[in-house]
Homo-oligomer: A and B are copies of this chain.
Amino acid sequence: MLGRGCTAFLERKVLLTSQYFRNLSISSTLEPEKPLVKTDVPGPKSKALLKELSSLQQAGSVQLFGDYNKSIGNYFVDADGNVFLDAFTQISSVPLGYNHPEMLTAFEDKQNLQELINRPALGVFPAVQWPNRLKNVLMSVAPKGLNSIATMMCGSCSNENAYKAVFMWYRNKQRGTKTDFSPEELTSCMLNQQPGSPNMSILSFEGGFHGRTFGALSTTRSKPIHKLDCPAFDWPVAPFPRYKYPLDQHVSENEKEDAKCLEQVADVIEKYNKKGNPVAGVIVEPIQSEGGDHEASPDFFQKLQKLCKEKGVALIIDEVQTGCGPTGKLWCYEHFSLPSPPDVVTFSKKMLTGGFYFNTEFKPPHAYRVFNTWMGDPGKLILLERVLKVIKTQNLLDVVNESGKVLKSGLHELEKEMPHLINSVRGRGTFLSFNAPTTECRDKINSDLKKNGIISGTCGELAIRLRPALIFQPKHANIYLDILRKTLKSIN
């Protein structure tokens, strides 16, 4: 009996007037009570639209077409009128669910609208409001100890430009007090040759995902399909811990795993330094969010930071997927109690704008070094301002922690009940995942979940990942768990 209350919901005219929305809290009365799947998934309308889209582009990755006039809160409505509880939220990029009143009214303010449509080249003619917007929005949630910010437009672009800032910092250290470029550098860089285009590298981890443009892609190590046929830099890779679960029963094995990985990081840095391709930065996700939701312990991250400092290498924390609250803290790395701030923190997705935080020493001494035409998008900061306000006023980090507890304990119960189907429950907040025994089984669970009204995501070879919005409440967690149980039982 999925979908009680849904028909009424769908027949009701959704009144998207701003006044109406202003009165709503996150426990929106407009949300349906449960999912409702009425057709095959994908249904006939989604299939027809896919055919249309496929005539224009490679659309093999498209799962469903969304009806974003009807989607609401935690519920995604598709072209065929099917209603799904969304625990994937556009690859983890929707902070407040669909049609949130604060978002719908953001551009009623005339000045906001003008900032949206008069998009400036932020590096040359930013708006009068811009310095304050950076301060009041992005710097209000800056990782502790980082005092500078660069805005970008997506995760790849944020990482690419963070790498550039790190390379410039590294070369400036080598230059010492001399800040000018040599004639050899000036001419050789135009030919993509040393010393102007130096051999330098960014170390990343097996299973890491950092984007798909050529610099970012050279650090992405999640799946071949992302990388095949693309030229890549000779940049080094080191293993990331692969833990055994439950964690409390495998303490010493997992500690050894940490030590083994850290030793390899040290070795690889030495090897690349020796071969004339020095490691300027290490990039790491707090949880490997695309490569399989692999976690590492606070101790691992503390020791990694210590190692980076010893080797004179910048530590870049990639919070593109983990940032903005889903782990129960605004930045996931806050769980690690690092003794000093990371050197660079990159973000995108739920933050709506891309960008990275850094410290004064990573500010390039010359202008036009980390630069592009738009340098971000003021319209996204206007929306982010609302997101951060709602997170604060509605204590959404508490909601995340509460819902996360319900979800995680429910998942633990399920892995006890059906250990042949799910194992290795892990994660923080609602940023959770579990493994199936095989890729085929995992894919079947995920696709059956969809038929039963739940959108989850997959990652790595075995994992199903949960990426709900920050407004996902314990009641939604219980619906998720009920449907997951039914789904697993039908596979059983």
Q: What is A's interface to B at a CB cutoff of 8 Å?
A: 16, 45, 49, 52-53, 55-69, 71, 76, 79, 90-91, 93-94, 98-100, 103-104, 106-107, 110-111, 113-121, 123-128, 130-132, 134-135, 139, 147-150, 153-157, 160-161, 163-164, 167-168, 170-171, 181, 185-187, 189-193, 196-201, 206, 211-216, 218, 221, 224-235, 237, 348-349, 352, 363-364, 366-374, 379, 383
Interchain CB contact (< 8 A) of A154 among B157, B167, B232 = B157
- The CA of A198 and the CA of B232, in the complex, are separated in Å by 8
Bound-state Cα–Cα, A113 to B232, Å:
40
A161 CA to B217 CA, complexed, in Å:
11
Given A62-B126, A163-B214, residue A71 in contact with residue B373 (CB < 8 A): no
Measured in the bound complex, the distance between the Cα atoms of B212 and A148 in whole Å is: 21
Contact present for B372 and A211 (CB under 8 Å):
yes
**Contact assessment for B225 and A61 in the assembled complex, using a CB-CB cutoff below 8 Å:** no
Report A160 CB to chain B, min CB distance, Å.
Answer: 4
Asked whether, in the complex, the Cβ of A65 is within 8 Å of the Cβ of B125, the reply is yes
Determine whether the beta carbon of B189 is less than 8 Å from that of A232. Answer: yes
What are 20 A-B pairs at a CB distance below 8 A?
Answer: A16-B114, A56-B147, A57-B134, A57-B148, A57-B149, A59-B123, A63-B125, A66-B118, A90-B121, A153-B154, A164-B229, A167-B229, A190-B206, A190-B227, A191-B237, A192-B232, A196-B224, A212-B371, A213-B213, A225-B366
Partner of A372 from B134, B154, B163, B228 at Cβ < 8 Å:
B154
Query: Would you call the interface of chain A mostly helix, strand, loop, or mixed?
Result: loop
A229–B109 Cα gap in the complex (Å)? 43
Residue of chain B at shortest CB distance from A219: B192
Contact, CB under 8 Å: A66 / B368: no
Given contacts A98-B118, A113-B107, A114-B69, contact A91 B198 (CB under 8 A): no
Collect the chain B residues with CB atoms within 8 Å of residue A367's CB.
58-61
Q: A156 to B58, Cβ gap below 8 A?
A: no
- Please determine whether B124 and A224 come into contact, CB atoms closer than 8 angstroms: no
The docked-state distance in angstroms from the alpha carbon of A291 to that of B91 is 38
Q: How far apart sit A206 and B120, CA to CA, in the bound complex (Å)?
A: 29
CA distance A123 to B200 in the complex (A): 33
Q: Quick check: B65 and A231 within 8 Å, CB to CB?
A: no
> Is A120 in contact with B66, judged by CB distance below 8 angstroms?
yes
Q: Which residues of B contact A235 (CB under 8 A)?
A: 192
Chain B residues with CB under 8 Å of A212's CB are 161, 164, 371-372
Contact pick for A218, options B45, B192, B226, CB 8 Å: B192
Cross-interface CB contact of A66 among B59, B127, B153, B237, cutoff 8 Å: B127
Please provide the 4 A-B residue pairs with the shortest distance between their CB atoms, ordered closest to farther.
A60-B367, A214-B215, A192-B232, A197-B232
Whether A186 and B119, one on each chain, are in contact in the complex, defined by CB atoms closer than 8 angstroms, is no
- A117 to B105: give the CA distance in the assembly, Å: 10
- Of B65, B148, B201, B214, the residue contacting A160 (CB under 8 A) is B214
Q: Give Cα distance in the complex from A284 to B165, angstroms.
A: 28
What separation, in Å, do the CA atoms of A215 and B99 have in the docked complex? 37
